């Protein structure tokens, strides 16, 4: 998924009008008897949602996912989804904004460390130049709507599966969505989009439809959660690996690692490539003493892609990671980060800094208007 930049922004004047407009749309819920608390004191890491029945709607209408202002105390959105765990060396952490990147506290580790995440590796393989802009030059890579929507869906599912099995209902998900959506609205990246109120409502509604899509694929009540949002950090055959896995669950007596996806499911041809990431999670879990036997990508729009985890499958994924890690070092040592031009240049945030990318876009789509 797209990368993103969630740097704190002191002056939010840009886009504030839009933000205010969007927020006006939720005023009817200002008085809703929804109580949302984050169970920090108890250290249970749970969103506690209490409501009177009158506030619960089963209509699935847009209103059912309206934000409530009563979000104080809810776990803040991980604005470090693209966290950089700084290092004294040139290669910083390579993480991903949408793959539930390592928690901020890792950034305060006293000893600077370097890691490679699946998405960082993927960025390098797609285009080394882009990798340099992002991880060496540290140029902003603001998340677009798809990445923000992905964050929203991950947050809702994370909280949903934190509830007791019988409570994992659509109505409960709606309450969670109400609590989580303001985090998205208040994200500087969302504010910077300066969406018209109607466009903001559409994004919110589309995001909620993805959560509904999840319910169409499986019954969360039956999910036997082992771990959720688990941070992985280990050495994978010489590569310092980091990642956060959405879910480890038990299915038919076997441990399964699951990664949620909010984008379009790949065609058969690209499936193996997409499974690479979850195989890396499986390898990391194995290295950390939690072996899993199955891996799956849950495309909440459409379907689940499941595969076995074997020594061969994880071995291939780790070998590819090693190659990328080695290539990153070569690029650093030679200061050569070759551009890989192609259709993706049109969506690359670094096009203004990349003459090759601009030329490619012009070749494909004609001169800028």
**Site for ligand SF4, rule CB under 6 A:** 127, 129-130, 133, 339-341, 344-345, 348, 350-351, 354, 356-357
Phi first, then psi, for residue 34 (nearest 5°) are -110, 130
- Least distance in angstroms from the C-beta of 97 to ligand SF4: 17
- Least distance in angstroms from the C-beta of 123 to ligand SF4: 9
Report the residue number, 220 or 339, with the smaller CB distance to ligand SF4. 339
Report the residue number, 47 or 341, with the smaller CB distance to ligand SF4. 341
C-alpha span between 82 and 103 (Å, rounded): 10
- Least distance in angstroms from the C-beta of 89 to ligand SF4: 22
C-alpha span between 6 and 101 (Å, rounded): 12
Report the residue number, 4 or 220, with the smaller CB distance to ligand SF4. 4
C-alpha span between 339 and 357 (Å, rounded): 8
Report the residue number, 150 or 357, with the smaller CB distance to ligand SF4. 357
DSSP string, 87-135: -SSS---B--TTTTPPPGGGGG-SS----B-HHHHHHHHH-HHHHIIII
Report the residue number, 133 or 260, with the smaller CB distance to ligand SF4. 133
Report the residue number, 233 or 356, with the smaller CB distance to ligand SF4. 356
- Least distance in angstroms from the C-beta of 144 to ligand SF4: 15
Asked whether the CA dihedral 216, 294, 81, 262 is positive or negative, the reply is negative
C-alpha span between 127 and 140 (Å, rounded): 16
Report the residue number, 26 or 147, with the smaller CB distance to ligand SF4. 147
- Least distance in angstroms from the C-beta of 127 to ligand SF4: 3
Report the residue number, 66 or 129, with the smaller CB distance to ligand SF4. 129
- Least distance in angstroms from the C-beta of 112 to ligand SF4: 27
HSE (CB half, 13 Å, CA atoms) of 301? 11
- Least distance in angstroms from the C-beta of 206 to ligand SF4: 26
Q: Which residues contact 93 (CB under 8 A, 6 or more apart)?
A: 83, 84, 85, 86, 87, 102, 113, 114, 115, 117, 120, 242
- Least distance in angstroms from the C-beta of 342 to ligand SF4: 7
**Of all residues in this chain, which one has the CB nearest to ligand SF4 in the complex?**
357
User: Strands, E, within the chain: which ranges?
Assistant: 34-38, 47-51, 224-236, 239-251, 254-261, 294-299, 303-308
C-alpha span between 300 and 216 (Å, rounded): 8
């Amino acid at each position: 998924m797209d990368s993103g930049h969630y740097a704190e922004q002191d002056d939010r004047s840009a886009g504030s009008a839009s933000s205010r407009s969007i927020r006006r749309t939720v005023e009817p819920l200002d008085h809703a008897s929804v109580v949302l608390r984050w169970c920090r004191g108890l250290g249970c890491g749970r969103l506690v949602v209490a409501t009177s029945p009158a506030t619960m709607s089963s209509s699935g209408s847009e209103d059912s996912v309206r934000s409530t202002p009563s979000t104080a105390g809810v776990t803040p959105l991980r604005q470090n989804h693209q966290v950089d765990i700084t290092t004294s060396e040139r290669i910083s952490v390579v993480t991903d904004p949408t793959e539930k990147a390592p928690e901020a506290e890792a950034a305060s580790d006293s000893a600077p460390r370097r890691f490679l995440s699946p998405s960082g590796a993927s960025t390098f393989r797609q285009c080394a130049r882009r990798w340099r802009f992002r991880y060496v030059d540290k140029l902003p890579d603001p998340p677009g709507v798809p990445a923000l929507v992905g964050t929203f869906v991950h947050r809702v599912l994370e909280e949903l599966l934190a509830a007791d099995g019988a409570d994992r209902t659509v109505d409960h998900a709606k309450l969670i969505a109400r609590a989580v959506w303001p985090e998205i609205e208040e994200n500087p990246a969302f504010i910077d989009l300066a969406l018209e109120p109607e466009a903001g409502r559409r994004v919110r509604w589309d995001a909620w439809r993805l959560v509904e899509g999840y319910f169409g694929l499986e019954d969360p009540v039956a999910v036997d959660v082992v771990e959720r949002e688990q941070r992985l950090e280990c050495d994978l055959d010489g590569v310092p690996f980091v990642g956060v896995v959405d879910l480890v669950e038990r299915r038919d007596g076997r441990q399964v690692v699951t990664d949620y996806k909010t984008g379009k499911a790949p065609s058969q041809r690209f499936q193996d490539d997409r499974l690479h990431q979850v195989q890396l999670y499986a390898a990391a879990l194995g290295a950390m003493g939690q072996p899993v036997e199955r891996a799956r990508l849950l495309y909440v729009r459409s379907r689940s892609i499941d595969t076995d985890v074997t020594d061969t499958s994880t071995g291939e994924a780790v070998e590819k990671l090693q190659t990328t890690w080695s290539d990153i070092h070569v690029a650093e040592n030679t200061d050569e980060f070759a551009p890989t031009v192609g259709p993706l240049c049109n969506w690359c945030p670094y096009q203004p800094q990349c003459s090759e990318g601009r030329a490619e876009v012009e070749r494909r789509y004609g001169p800028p208007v």
